[in-house]
Chain A
Amino acid sequence: MLIKLTGGTVYDPASGVDGKQQDIYIQNGKIIDKPTGEFLVTKEYDLKGKVVMSGAIDMHTHIGGGKGNIARTLLPEDHRQDPVASNDVCRSGCGHAMPSSFVTGYRYAEMGYTAGFEPALLPINARQAHMEMGDIPILDKGGYVMLGSDDYLLRMLTAKKDQKAINDYVAWTMQSAKAIGVKVVNPGGINAFKFNQRKLDLDEQNSHYGVTPREILRVLATAVKEIGVSHPLHVHGCNLGVPGNIETTLDTIQGIGGLPMHLTHIQFHSYGTEGDFKFSSGAAYIAEAVNKHKNITIDVGQILFGQTVTASGDNMRQHANHKHASPNKWVTMDIECDAGCGVVPFKYKDKNFVNALQWAIGLETFLLVEDPWRIFLTTDHPNGAPFTSYPHLIRLLMDRTFRNDVLSTIHPEAQKMTTLASIEREYTLQEIAIMTRAGAAKLIGLQNRGGLSAGNWADITIYTDNVDRQKMFEKPDYVFKDGEVVVIDGKVVHTKWGTTHIVKPDYDKSIEKDLKIYFDKYLTMKVDNFRMSDDEITEDGRGSLTVHDLKAVA
């Protein structure tokens, strides 16, 4: 079967193609060069006047794992607002803030997304995360394994184990949890909360281990680099949501000393203490630091107004924020000497000064960071807003008039505290394609995804150009996943199963001896039962694993 997409206007930053009319050929799920000699096209799509991009990739979205399922169980009233019926093609479920797994797949696909990455894969909860993601149709998926508050690592640091030993442990954990990246959340803070510490600054010691967040960041960022993982250490920094945390964030950037580092949902870490309400935007400082430090990448974690639920590994900060819970119910958990989680429903209001300014801070960050290859479009789903709000967010970035219209409706004091009105930048289609496709694939280290040149898997989204960018991005004409049409006119017409992207870094097998002793003595599961095997993902006949290359390490 040979498919030809004819005459579309192609935006493929991975190949440097910016709005050029090009034909695309698909065979066996992949994009191929135009066949030579005589050939028969089985199916041709006339795409003249249409916009063609590769399938979008969400590099930070909470789509699998325990805290998401706690959020679901917590909020039946939210699901009741958005029931989703089954049809000939699709399973039923629920939508809105924390959609059911099947609906997650359908709604992402219906916006032209073909991959999503769970950023908080707890080692002990990895099975659940992969099983949930195993029930997300269409999308490719993967996860970043969470370290940094696990007692094993902190014991290693206290015992002054060398970097090589830490690298082995990180590689072992990535393999056992089937991860493609490594994340740290409130470095050491989740652990400190278990010792009743209520905040942990960058240089503050864990009261039991004497280890600081700065040390944890350094050893983990080094480990990720030295074992050759493409995705830089994925960092949810200290002091999330705390006014004045801009200092910590700038210090984190400065202090990593040039190591690759990804700062996630940076909007929540960009707050100053100026003004009458002692809450101000630090976006300009953050953007300046990001522009200057080429080792740093960020995603924004934009908030958008409305009801959502926040689900985070950061139980220390989630506990502190519980008084903002709306509706007033919330959950925290300490988890298995491994991590934690906190689930707090939130309703962001445009007439609330803090929420309004948070909204502006996110947009300022998007517009002031110059290099679209180093900034990514996220709402930290569902924490800033459900992922279904991406088309709206894209319009805010691409349409200054629309942006300023919305700005004029938010809390008046917040309007005074933001420079947003004066920022002229409007994102181009190519820049959107970088942030949501080529850049994301490059950042995660996905081979043969996120581009439209021959050799890539045929994950392709086709839009009708529309000056209303929200309308354009919320309803693609076609979405192809691995060469199969899954969406027509914004509706799922066919489903299939995506793959799970992982890396398999090597480690010195001798570390398993000490791990076995530790597990036997302190944990509640045998170490061999803890490690996930490949067949746990593949045995049901739907899942598959795609192992990506590691970087050559100098």
Chain B
Amino acid sequence: MSEMTEVPSPFCGVGTDDLTIRVDGLKISVVENGCAVNTPAFEQPITDTKARINGKEVELKEAIAHAASLLKNTNYPVIGGCATDVNGMRGLLALADRTGAVVDNMNFNNARKNILALQDSGWMNTTLAEVKNRCDLLLIVGVDLEGFAPRFFEKYLWNEAMFLENTSDRDIIYLGTKPSGNASTSPNGKIAHVFECANEDLPEVVTVLRALVKGQPIHAETVAGISIADLTAIAEKLKAAKYGVVTWAAGALNYSHAELTVQTISEMVKDVNQTTRCSGFPLGGKEGDQTANQVCGWTTGYAARVSFAKGYPEYDPFLFETNELLNNGEADALVWVNAFNTQANPPKTHLPTIVVARSGMTFEKEPDVFIPVGTPAIDHAGHAFRLDNVVAIRLKKLRDSNLPSTAEVLNAIEQVLREESVC
């Protein structure tokens, strides 16, 4: 039995790295600083240790050879999931390059809301440590922040900051979704302002807020149940703050064309910066989302929804969606990669299916090949990107499970295909 401190997590997106973890053989227990997101993700037991072909346990080598044979004569395989570490993504992209596959991160429909806004007009964003040390006003749009990251307030807001005398005085404003608990109440009892509205009313509310920031006259008295006076007060606070931060979670904006809401927020942040400082802070990046987009970014030039079918990477944020390609008959095989989450199952399909995933994944329909892999940050070392994009965390190995890494498996499949193409 051993105990490890300062363990980093790839699960929560915020790159928590103060976990204390006890390792007893293969059993992992989070003994300090756990949360509802990280603790179960670390403690998930290993159940599968052997690869399977059509449900029958086989040696790893055999499973790899069979996976390669399934991919060998495909025209348009799809590699979905894409939830792994940096080396796993490197292997995944090499395999996609060799097989002419589509690469599609499973949460890309959410990331797309941010990426479309970025690619149309850009943004002014910030990172966690700047939020912690500078943020005097936090505007939370359409998300339950403590549900997203249970320790966010405790770790980043309600403790010491370099540039704020009393962090308890920070202004917290919720717009849209109300908080699920009271983590946003400061240690000295200051409570967050909450202006609730329905999720799908946010486009209207945010647009009016931006107009007010720009000093445009608004003739209505309320919008989606929120008074213009309240929105005017928020606009004034943004302009009066020294370092306001506006945060949102693309995944929580559950309506079509939510990218326009992200764009309005981002453009509003730019407007505020004409006179004072203000930054956007998109929440996301759980279980390898940011990692997938970053590695795909430097390898192909594009975020993680790319087709290699023509021999070079093509990006289309809509056409190359896994479910579309499976359902419309274009795809002819599925590779599902998820080293983090046993609940994130592959989509249902009649196509040949190879699953490279965390031990313990259960299937409604047994895939042709299932290769259980180690989890980055538990079974092997690696790297993952945090939600704020620029920070990569070093993942540690906690135990000897002998499970292969995603990279080892995907590289081995690619190697078989490469040798066959040379012969």
Contact = CB atoms under 8 A, between A and B. Distances in A.
Given A125-B391, A127-B392, A74 B129 contact: no
A127 B295 CA distance: 12
A540 B273 CA distance: 43
A522 B133 contact: yes
B90 interface: yes
A193 B134 CA distance: 12
B301 A76 contact: yes
Interface stretch (A79-87, A282-290, A414-422): A79-87
Contact of B124 (A86, A92, A331, A528): A331
B402 interface: no
Contact of A331 (B123, B133, B243, B391): B123
A73 B118 contact: yes
Contact of A91 (B97, B115, B121, B393): B97
B90 A83 contact: no
Contacts of A131: 86, 295, 383, 392
A522 B160 contact: yes
A127 B394 contact: yes
A329 B116 CA distance: 12
Interface string A324-337: 01001111111111
A100 B6 contact: no
A70 B381 CA distance: 26
Contacts of B18: 526
A413 B21 CA distance: 69
A69 interface: yes
A102 B299 contact: yes
A329 B312 contact: no
Contact of A98 (B121, B127, B301, B393): B301
Contact of A196 (B17, B94, B277, B303): B277
A102 B298 CA distance: 8
Nearest to A208: B163
A421 B381 CA distance: 59
Contacts of A343: 122
A331 B118 contact: yes
Contacts of A532: 394
A36 interface: no
Contacts of A92: 97, 300, 308, 311-313
A94 B313 contact: yes
B314 interface: yes
Nearest to A333: B125
Contacts of A84: 312
B302 interface: yes
B109 to A, nearest CB: 17
B125 A76 contact: no
Contacts of A101: 298-299
Nearest to B5: A526
A521 interface: yes
Contacts of B115: 73
Q: Which of A73, A521, A528 has the most CB atoms of chain B within a 10 A radius of its CB? A: A73
A93 B391 contact: no
A122 to B, nearest CB: 7
Interface residues of B, number: 68
Nearest to A328: B121
A423 interface: no
Contacts of B162: 151, 337, 522
A334 B310 contact: no
B126 interface: yes
A337 B125 contact: no
A246 to B, nearest CB: 29
Interface residues of A, number: 66
Nearest to A527: B6
Given A151-B162, A540-B87, A524 B132 contact: yes
B156 interface: yes
B97 A86 contact: yes
Interface in B345-393: 381, 383, 385, 389-393
Q: Which of A92, A128, A529, A535 has the most CB atoms of chain B within a 10 A radius of its CB? A: A92
Nearest to A103: B301
Contacts of B97: 86, 91-92
Contact of B391 (A86, A98, A336): A336
Given A131-B86, A196-B277, A526-B6, A79 B302 contact: yes
B221 interface: no
A424 interface: no
A1 interface: no
A526 B18 CA distance: 7
A335 B390 contact: yes
A529 B315 contact: no
Contacts of B312: 83-86, 92-94
Given A73-B297, A83-B313, A194 B277 contact: yes
Contacts of A533: 394
B15 A524 contact: yes
B134 A194 contact: yes
B276 interface: yes
A337 B121 contact: no
B130 A93 contact: no
Contacts of B87: 540
Contact of A100 (B8, B301, B392, B407): B301
Contacts of A38: none
B197 interface: no
Given A91-B94, A337-B130, A532-B394, A66 B389 contact: yes
Interface string A230-267: 00000000000000000000000000000000000000
B300 A524 contact: no
B183 interface: no
Contacts of A94: 300-302, 312-313
B343 to A, nearest CB: 28
A336 B390 contact: yes
A43 B312 CA distance: 35
A371 interface: no
B293 interface: yes
A498 interface: no
B318 to A, nearest CB: 13
Q: Which of B121, B128, B293, B302 has the most CB atoms of chain A within a 10 A radius of its CB? A: B302
Contacts of A511: none
B161 interface: yes
B129 A337 contact: yes
B242 interface: yes
Interface string B120-160: 11111111111011100000000000000000000110001
B302 A336 contact: no
A534 B130 CA distance: 28
A85 B310 contact: yes
Interface in A172-187: none
A535 B383 CA distance: 12
Q: Which of B8, B242, B300, B303 has the most CB atoms of chain A within a 10 A radius of its CB? A: B300
6 contacts: A79-B315, A83-B313, A92-B312, A334-B279, A525-B393, A529-B8
Given A331-B125, A335-B126, A337-B130, 8 more contacts: A76-B315, A92-B312, A93-B300, A135-B299, A319-B273, A328-B121, A523-B132, A524-B14
Interface of A: 66, 68-70, 72-76, 79, 83-86, 91-94, 98-102, 122, 124-125, 127-128, 131-132, 135, 151, 193-196, 208, 319, 325, 328-338, 341, 343, 521-526, 528-529, 532-533, 535-536, 539-540
Interface of B: 6, 8, 14-15, 17-18, 86-87, 90, 94, 97-98, 115, 118-130, 132-134, 155-156, 160-163, 242-243, 273, 276-277, 279, 293-295, 297-303, 308, 310-315, 381, 383, 385, 389-394, 407
- By Cβ-Cβ distance, the 9 closest A-B pairs, closest first, are A94-B301, A85-B311, A83-B312, A127-B392, A79-B301, A66-B390, A329-B122, A336-B129, A524-B128
